[in-house]
Amino acid sequence: MKFPTKIPNRKTKCKSAKTSNSSNLNESLDILRLDPSLSLPDARIPPYQRAAADSVMALLRDFGRGYQALCSYSCREAINILTSLPPQHYNTGWVLTHIGKAYFELAEYTQAERLFSEVRRIESYRVEGMEIYSTTLWHLQKDVALSALSKDLTDMDKNCPEAWCVAGNCFSLQREHDIAIKFFQRAIQVDPGFAYAYTLLGHEFVLTEELDRALACFRNAIRVNSRHYNAWYGLGMIYYKQEKFNLAEIHFKKALSINPQSSVLLCHIGVVQHALKKSDAALETLNRAIGIDPKNPLCKFHRASILFANDKYKAALQELEELKQIVPKESLVYFLIGKVTPKHLLPVCTGSQDQLHGKLSSSSSAISLANSRSCCSRSRRS
């Protein structure tokens, strides 16, 4: 059950308690809720009740603070508050889902997945937040788990938008975009106020290159929920594809103003700034992104590529060497090393051919790695 809906429940209980004129915990709770200054005479409230009420209020305050932090995308803070809850409250679907969502917003998908799968274990009937779980699995490309989740949820409740979003994500991962579009449309049909379904539909339309319809979807999502930053990001992405970099930057920045801690968004802004020939601003933005999330390999990669474009070969190479430690299996990194190395070495060592050959062979072995993953034919062209 969602947190805010708990309060009316309690209220009705309190009323019945009042009418029966028995003084119990519920009644004192009701009084506390109505009058937070606690100015009532102490004689009416026995100390043990007061202590109990205080602890409940403290608990609710923590819930509220955690939820507020998450809604303002202070994800680390939200995680800290919610994980410090006592175990009997921590191990509930609501809390774990929200911690999962916080990790999701931080792009720590493996952590998010761990929490969501725990939610599935303890509250398999829960649908709220499962759309986020499905997107987590989409990012991690875990198609088996995603398809199991989709089956479970659509079997359980065909009238909730979350189930259809999960099904759509499942088909999107299989690259069956037409079917995914149908499912996201169904999600909107069962609940036209579900902003995330519009966004997901928009992303599908981008993938099938129907950009006009995608624009409409993202705008609908913003109409439903103007703090839904994913839709602002989607709009920025479309303008980037259309090479309207100014508009793209505006929309990405709007998204960033909602979620200022997102390293992925900052990375995108950096790339757009580079496309607008504002390389210094781009590097600054990327530095900020790396400051927020030092583990984000794409930020480092783009920083290296911008350094490379600005003829700072040595710095670019150093960046790529660090990146190699983080993602040793990514062929793209070796590809860029291969592009940077000859430019870096050629002006310096006209004589020492051996060194050049050594470097080149390492990068060509990288390219053969890339080749084995059937990406080289494309990369050589670009």
Q: By C-alpha distance, which of 80, 112, 115 is closest to 96? A: 115
Sequence letter at residue 255: A
Nearer residue to other proteins within complex by CB, 54 or 322: 322
Nearer residue to other proteins within complex by CB, 56 or 216: 216
Nearer residue to other proteins within complex by CB, 95 or 266: 266
Question: What is the C-alpha to C-alpha distance for residues 255 and 261, in angstroms, rounded to an integer?
Answer: 11
Angle 151-154-159 (CA atoms, 0-180°, nearest 5)?
A: 175
Only one residue has tokens 């929200």, namely 98
252 CB contacts (<8 Å, ≥6 apart)? 232, 233, 236, 265, 268, 269, 272
Q: List C-alpha distances in Å: 155 to 107, 129, 152, 166.
A: 29, 17, 5, 12
Among 63, 233, 308, 313, binds other proteins (CB under 8 A): 233
Site string for other proteins, 150-179 (x = CB under 8 A): ------------------------xxxxx-
Q: Is 298 in the site for other proteins (CB under 8 A)?
A: yes
**CA dihedral of 183, 185, 187, 192, whole degrees rounded to 10:** 180
Q: How many CB atoms lie within 10 A of CB 329?
A: 9
Only one residue has tokens 């088909």, namely 171
Contact stretch for other proteins (CB under 8 A) within 68-76, 151-159, 213-221, 232-240: 232-240
Among 114, 139, 213, 324, binds other proteins (CB under 8 A): 139
Among 308, 335, 341, 356, binds other proteins (CB under 8 A): 335
Q: Is 147 in the site for other proteins (CB under 8 A)?
A: no
Q: By C-alpha distance, which of 2, 7, 128 is closest to 56? A: 7
Site string for other proteins, 46-75 (x = CB under 8 A): ------------------------------
Q: Is 203 in the site for other proteins (CB under 8 A)?
A: yes
Mapping DSSP to helix (H, G, I), strand (E, B) and coil, where does residue 260 land? coil
DSSP code of 43?
Answer: G
Tokens of residue 264, six digits: 């992925």
Q: Is 332 in the site for other proteins (CB under 8 A)?
A: yes
Site string for other proteins, 83-122 (x = CB under 8 A): ------------------------x-x-------------
Least distance from other proteins to the Cβ atom of residue 373, Å: 5
Q: Is 201 in the site for other proteins (CB under 8 A)?
A: no
Among 305, 338, 340, 341, binds other proteins (CB under 8 A): 305
Q: Is 141 in the site for other proteins (CB under 8 A)?
A: yes
Give 188-218 as a 3 state SS string. Answer: HHHCCCCHHHHHHHHHHHHHCCCHHHHHHHH
Least distance from other proteins to the Cβ atom of residue 98, Å: 19
Q: List C-alpha distances in Å: 79 to 87, 119, 228.
A: 14, 16, 20
Among 73, 240, 308, 313, binds other proteins (CB under 8 A): 240
The residues binding other proteins (CB under 8 A) are 107, 109, 135, 138-141, 174-178, 199-200, 203, 206-209, 230, 233, 237, 240-241, 262-265, 267-268, 271-272, 296-299, 301-302, 305, 326-327, 329-332, 335, 370, 373-375, 378-379, 381-382
